[in-house]
A and B are shown apart, each in its own frame.
Chain A
């Protein structure tokens, strides 16, 4: 069964460093998402991506964040200068469409720890 894959599963980085979180969405899906879950809290929407551009973003997704789909298969989230409060689980998700009876398929997540 096709699945969304994320790498790495766990990343530790020093405050101020740049990190890139990688995702390979399901191949025939058109909508891609990043979500964040701070430990013990709810899952929060960061950004959606469609047709090679950002289609929607939350207030969390500030100038420190960027997304790219560099080669038609990978979907990346970059955090330019990490802060301690960026420590969280980051989930990538993809979906064949944005409406109707279709769920978002989530990757297994990348746990980012900023020290």
Chain B
């Protein structure tokens, strides 16, 4: 079974609008971390935001926020006020803390295109 599921292969958003990128996860580990990375066409992986499984509040980093719904096992990324430079692939990833050495499990990604 997929541990990280991103159901949106591609998304379009109008510049200056908000967009939500979906991510659901599957784990039996009570302690885990959820990450979002951005991959522009140049190929590098840019860390955006982190949510720990025990965090009480949703994580926020500038225009990025994470809508964490633990009972639903979802960790959706919300980008507010989209910019043309936000056009990229976005990957959701999970790290299971129990017994792991910190390796990340990635979803298949969502390609976001921001329209002017």
**Footprint of B on A, CB under 8 Å?**
31, 33, 35, 41-45, 48, 50, 55-56, 89, 91, 93, 95, 97-109, 111
Q: How many residues of B contact A (CB 8 A)?
A: 26
Contacts of B108 in A (CB 8 A): 41-42
**CB–CB A42/B43 < 8 A:** no
Which of B19-27, B70-78, B97-105 participates in binding chain A? B97-105
- Residue among B35, B45, B50 facing the most chain A CB atoms (10 A cut-off): B45
**CB–CB B103/A45 < 8 A:** yes
Closest 6 CB pairs of A and B: A98-B102, A106-B45, A55-B101, A48-B101, A43-B106, A99-B97
**CB–CB B103/A44 < 8 A:** no
Contact (A103, B35) CB under 8 Å given A43-B45, A48-B101: yes
Contact (A31, B52) CB under 8 Å given A41-B108, A99-B31: no
B45 nearest CB neighbor, chain A only = A106
Contact of B52 among A48, A93, A101 (CB under 8 A): A101
Give min CB distance, A28 to chain B, whole Å. 15
Contacts of A31 in B (CB 8 A): 101-102
Q: How far is the CA of A111 from the CA of B102 in the complex (A)?
A: 24
Q: How far is the CA of A33 from the CA of B45 in the complex (A)?
A: 14
